[in-house]
């Protein structure tokens, strides 16, 4: 059974790999045997160093995914340096908060461009490579707001709702070509993106009261789901959005 989850010899791209969820997923994939291209606006030196300490290869690729300009380079550079692309984790994302009546076009475009547009075009670039090889795994990072509306985050909600639909669309098109496309929807995870919520005493209390597990998630809680969806164990899983949320949606 353990061999189903073995990623030895696989090459993964993880965006936003320098901190938080992206770093945790990159480390989890490496612990299962994968070599990892760590993509981020700032160099993921710590992540790469920890991967290399496990005896795996790691490459640092600096790229700003607020535009689609670097997507082809990310895939080409990974393939050239690590020998291919077997797994893509679309984790990089941003959030902007304001009341809907005050939300600006600048904040709308910044979030949607990073969280949805770049995800599609990076998936497209990786998908071409994977289709040519006849296999591959793509994991998108969705959100509780893929299922719910949220408040004061209209562009984030729109982008993460779009991720749910895009995941299904790509699975529909590429399943027959040997590509699995799924998503992970993290619950309330203690990261920089949720710092404002953690610091708001009222919001923090209301969030914890709803989570059956009784705690904020840690980024490492997502590692097992990422390894599963990247592995042979998930070969018949397609278009699924897997919630890792401490029971939030069940409540």
Spell out the domains of the chain, with CATH numbers in brackets.
2-190+220-244 (3.40.50.720)
What pLDDT score was predicted for residue 94?
96
What pLDDT score was predicted for residue 2?
72
Cα–Cα distances (Å) from 55 to 31, 34, 84, in that order, read 9, 10, 18
Residue-wise pLDDT for 168-217, tens only, equals: 999 999 999 999 999 999 999 998 878 888 999 999 999 999 999 999 99
Kindly give, in sequence order, each residue whose CB lies less than 8 Å from that of residue 64, ignoring residues fewer than 6 positions away. Answer: 41, 70
Q: Name the average pLDDT for the chain.
A: 97
What pLDDT score was predicted for residue 193?
78
What pLDDT score was predicted for residue 197?
87
**In the annotation, is 156 catalytic?**
yes
What pLDDT score was predicted for residue 206?
94
CA neighbor of 30 nearest in space, from 40, 42, 41, 46:
46
What residues in the chain have per-residue pLDDT under 50?
Answer: none
pTM confidence score: 0.97
Q: Choosing from 156, 174, 228, 248, which is the catalytic residue?
A: 156
What pLDDT score was predicted for residue 194?
87
């Amino acid at each position: 059974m353990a061999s189903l989850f073995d990623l030895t010899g696989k090459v993964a791209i993880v965006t936003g790999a320098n901190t938080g969820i992206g770093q945790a997923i990159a480390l989890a994939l490496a612990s299962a045997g994968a070599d990892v291209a760590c993509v981020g606006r700032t160099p993921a030196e710590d992540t790469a160093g920890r991967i290399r300490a496990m005896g795996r290869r790691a490459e640092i690729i600096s790229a700003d995914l607020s535009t689609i300009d670097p997507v082809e380079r990310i895939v080409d550079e990974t393939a050239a340096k690590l020998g291919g692309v077997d797994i893509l984790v679309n984790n990089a994302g941003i959030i902007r908060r304001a009341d809907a009546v005050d939300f600006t076009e600048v904040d709308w475009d910044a979030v949607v461009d990073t969280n949805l547009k770049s995800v599609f075009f990076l998936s497209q670039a990786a998908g071409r490579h994977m289709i040519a090889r006849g296999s591959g795994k793509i994991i998108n990072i969705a959100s509780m707001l893929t299922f719910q509306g949220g408040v004061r985050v209209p562009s984030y909600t729109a982008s993460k709702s779009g991720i749910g639909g895009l995941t299904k669309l790509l699975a529909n098109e590429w399943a027959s070509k040997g590509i699995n496309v799924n998503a992970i929807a993290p619950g309330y995870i203690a990261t920089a993106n949720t710092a404002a919520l953690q610091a708001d005493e009222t919001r923090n209390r209301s969030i914890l009261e709803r989570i059956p597990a009784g705690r904020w998630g840690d980024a490492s809680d997502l590692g097992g789901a990422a390894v599963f969806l990247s592995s042979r164990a998930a070969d018949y899983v397609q278009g699924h959005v897997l919630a890792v949320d401490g029971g939030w949606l069940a409540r």
